[in-house]
Structure 1
Amino acid sequence: MGRSLVVKATCGADDPERVNQAFTVAAAAAAAGAEVSLWLTGEAAWFGTPGRAEAFHLDLATPLPDLRAAVLATGGAVTVCSQCAARRGITESDLVEGVTIAGAAVFAEQVLRDDVQALVY
């Protein structure tokens, strides 16, 4: 397989264009056949829970639930940062199906593999 892509979204609805860009790049890479891991950190952690991505709107942008689903549909991963989840009271049972919680060790393992490109938004 070709290169993998790890995308970290560090903001939420407070910075709509930046978080939308993270989701859009992750979904586009997944559609192009890349192995994609989308990390939701900070306020982006809420987009791993039901209803939050659905309530997000940005003119002329593909809805976040569709982009998240595109990553998951191709076998990609969507992960909420464990510390970010804990600070917000988010548990595994609060997440959309297919989304998981993991910590910095897993993130570091992913970005340190050969042939991986990491992007932070």
Structure 2
Amino acid sequence: MANSRLVIKVTAGADAPERCSQAFTVASVAAASGIEVSLWLTGESSWFALPGKAAEFTLPHAAPLPDLIETIQGGGRITLCTQCAARRSITQEDVLEGVRIAGAQVFVGEIMEEGVQAVVY
């Protein structure tokens, strides 16, 4: 599994909590398993790039989002969509440490690499 790579694009946030939680959970489990993870925050999940926002998210019987984010960052990367950030007036200075802002060209480059599996939530 060490050579595996998983790219996950999550579009849901508090508007669709189960779908959102599933994306973060899958990314976290993959990272904890030694799979290199790239989690892309788009749409309403964009807010979770900001400090404190993940702690506001609750879903019964789900792991806390801040814990999942910590695990993901330990085994991969979190990226905030450029356009989604701009629509929400989020800048690089606003986001959690380690979160980058990048656009579609970078996303396409990641998913087109050999051996990459991609999932959209």
**Shorter-normalised TM range:** over 0.9
Equivalent residue for 2:7? Answer: 6
Query: Post-superposition shift, 1:73?
Result: 1.4
Query: Post-superposition shift, 1:2?
Result: 2.2
Equivalent residue for 1:21? Answer: 22
Runs of at least 4 residues off by over 2 Å: none
Query: Post-superposition shift, 1:52?
Result: 1.1
Unaligned segments of structure 2, at least 5 residues: none
- How many residue pairs match? The answer is 120
Deviations 1:66-105 (A, max 9, x none): 101101112x000000000000000001101111100000
1:37 partner amino acid? S
Equivalent residue for 1:77? Answer: 77
The percentage of counterpart residues that share the same residue type is 57
2:63 partner amino acid? T
Q: Distance in 1 between matches of 2:37 and 2:16?
A: 22
Q: Distance in 2 between matches of 1:50 and 1:103?
A: 21
Q: Distance in 1 between matches of 2:44 and 2:109?
A: 23
- Alignment RMSD (CA, Å): 0.7
Q: Distance in 1 between matches of 2:63 and 2:10?
A: 16
Q: Distance in 2 between matches of 1:78 and 1:63?
A: 17
TM-score using structure 2 length: 0.97
Query: Post-superposition shift, 1:11?
Result: 1.1
1:102-121 counterparts in 2 under 5 A?
Answer: 102-121=102-121
Q: Distance in 1 between matches of 2:5 and 2:119?
A: 11
